[in-house]
Amino acid sequence: MRLKLLSPGEMSADQRQTYDESIASKRGSPPPPMMAWLNSPEMARHATRLGAVLRYDTMFPAALSEIAILVTARHWTAHYEWSAHKRLALAGGLDIKIIEDIRDRRTPEFSDPKAKMIYDVAKSLHEGHGLTDALYADAITLLGERGMVEIIGLCGYYTMVSMTLNAFEFDLPEGEVSELK
């Protein structure tokens, strides 16, 4: 870990307010990257609120949101993010084979067309830096405009999360070993 994370007793009033808000939220605990973001309290406040919306209040069930998050974590080889969201993806009902394929950079086989579209959009955004006209049109037809905005939001937010965790070298929880190479 490259950054000293503050304990609640070391936080300024602004930092403590954001910390307390995260504990009172649906999460019940502060998200690890927020602990780094607290060095910029206003950024931490807004980023944490955005993360809560994207995590809990999109139009997608957890299994579908987690596809975009896992593609993002894999793209950035974000060990901590991968570990945390693999658990959440499994808890949300995502098939382990899909998770393993994403981990191993293989295109998964999907029975759900929305799941495949989310994977394709996330992969294209990260690897191609955008969407072809055909992929965009197909995604709008299948996911709608709100769905597209939310998938792009998930990819963008979890890119920031992945960069934060990687740059400050967040350690995996004790006893865990990264699956990513």
For the segment 101-142, what is each residue's pLDDT rounded down to a tens digit?
A: 999 999 999 999 999 999 999 999 999 999 999 999 999 999
Look at residue 27 and tell me whether its pLDDT is greater than 90.
no
Which one-letter amino acid corresponds to residue 88?
L
Look at residue 174 and tell me whether its pLDDT is greater than 90.
no
Question: What pLDDT sits at residue 43?
Answer: 96
Secondary structure (H, E, C), 119-179: HHHHHHHHHHCCCCHHHHHHHHHHHHHHHHHHHHHHHHHHHHHHHHHHHCCCCCCCCCCCC
pTM of the model: 0.94
Query: Where does the pLDDT of residue 1 fall: very low under 50, low under 70, confident under 90, or very high at 90 and above?
Result: confident
**Any idea which residue has 């579908």 for tokens?**
64
Query: Where does the pLDDT of residue 31 fall: very low under 50, low under 70, confident under 90, or very high at 90 and above?
Result: confident
Query: Where does the pLDDT of residue 74 fall: very low under 50, low under 70, confident under 90, or very high at 90 and above?
Result: very high
